[in-house]
């Protein structure tokens, strides 16, 4: 094969793979979401959702507030990308504190922030907010992510590493939260046997 023809064929194959990433990513995200929602539905009624002790002294409601803020974080970054704005991760503790004051959630992508750590200021912020309101806000944040992904071009996804970043703020927290809920439910089952 001639070098130019080979290069065009290779570029065409890469282009097809690139287009497939967005096509394969959204169904994967939706599958992860469906598993998470199924587990929440199994947890049942509001009393069980607000019982402390699922993880440390936190309830499912508290863990859902953490998921909500992570989703809201990435939804806001996606909105900035659509508007042509740039996000810069906080590189000082002052900037990190100011980010949370201004946005109501931590700068989850700051190198100064422990990625998997649950922020107790967030838990306190949502302590007096009803479960239904948290669920409604969380569903809206997820819908905003999906809506933005449909509007953002594939090149923007690649330029901003969105497949990885969205996974970090959606289905990875779903999995962590699901593990804690499953562990807690098993401990309850053995306790009542």
127-182, pLDDT tens digit by residue?
Answer: 999 999 999 999 999 999 999 999 999 999 999 999 999 999 999 999 999 999 99
CA 25 remoteness from chain centre: 14
Distance CA 56, CA 52 (A): 8
With a cut of 90, say whether residue 192 has pLDDT above it: no
In angstroms, the CA 161 to CA 156 distance is 8
Task: Please say whether the beta carbons of 65 and 133 come within 8 A.
Answer: no
SS3 sequence of 44-110: CCHHHHCCCCCECCECHHHHHHHHHHHHHHHHHHHHHHHHCCCCCCCCCHHHHHHHHHHHCCCCCCC
pLDDT of residue 46: 52
pLDDT of residue 48: 79
Query: Which residues sit opposite 55 in a β-bridge?
Result: 58
66-123 pLDDT tens trace: 999 999 999 999 999 999 998 999 999 999 999 999 999 999 999 999 988 898 899 9
Strand, helix or coil for residue 117? coil
Contacts of 166 (CB under 8 A, 6+ apart): 25, 29, 74, 78, 145, 149
pTM for the structure as a whole: 0.85
**pLDDT category of residue 4 using cuts at 50, 70 and 90:** very low
81: Cβ contacts below 8 Å, ≥ 6 apart: 148, 152, 156, 160, 162
The Cα-based distances of 90 to 37, 94, 96, 97 in angstroms read 32, 8, 5, 9
Confidence of residue 47 (pLDDT cuts 50, 70, 90): low
33-84+120-191 in CATH: which number?
Answer: 1.20.120.450
Q: Kindly state the average pLDDT of the residues 179-187.
A: 89
pLDDT at residue 167, as a whole number: 95
């Amino acid at each position: 094969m001639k070098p130019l023809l080979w290069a065009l064929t290779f570029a065409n194959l890469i282009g097809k793979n690139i287009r497939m990433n967005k096509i394969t990513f959204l169904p994967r995200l939706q599958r992860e979401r469906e598993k998470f929602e199924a587990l929440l539905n199994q947890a049942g009624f509001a009393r069980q959702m607000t019982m402390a002790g699922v993880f440390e002294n936190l309830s499912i409601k508290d863990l859902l507030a953490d998921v909500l803020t992570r989703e809201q974080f990435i939804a806001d970054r996606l909105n900035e990308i659509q508007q042509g704005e740039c996000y810069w991760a906080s590189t000082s503790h002052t900037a990190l504190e100011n980010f949370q004051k201004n946005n109501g959630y931590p700068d989850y992508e700051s190198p100064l922030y422990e990625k998997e750590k649950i922020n107790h200021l967030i838990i306190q912020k949502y302590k007096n907010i009803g479960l239904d309101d948290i669920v409604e806000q969380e569903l809206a944040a997820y819908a905003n992510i999906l809506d933005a992904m449909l509007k953002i071009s594939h090149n923007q996804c690649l330029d901003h590493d969105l497949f990885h970043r969205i996974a970090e703020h959606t289905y990875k927290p779903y999995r962590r939260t699901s593990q804690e809920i499953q562990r807690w439910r098993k401990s309850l089952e053995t306790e009542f046997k």
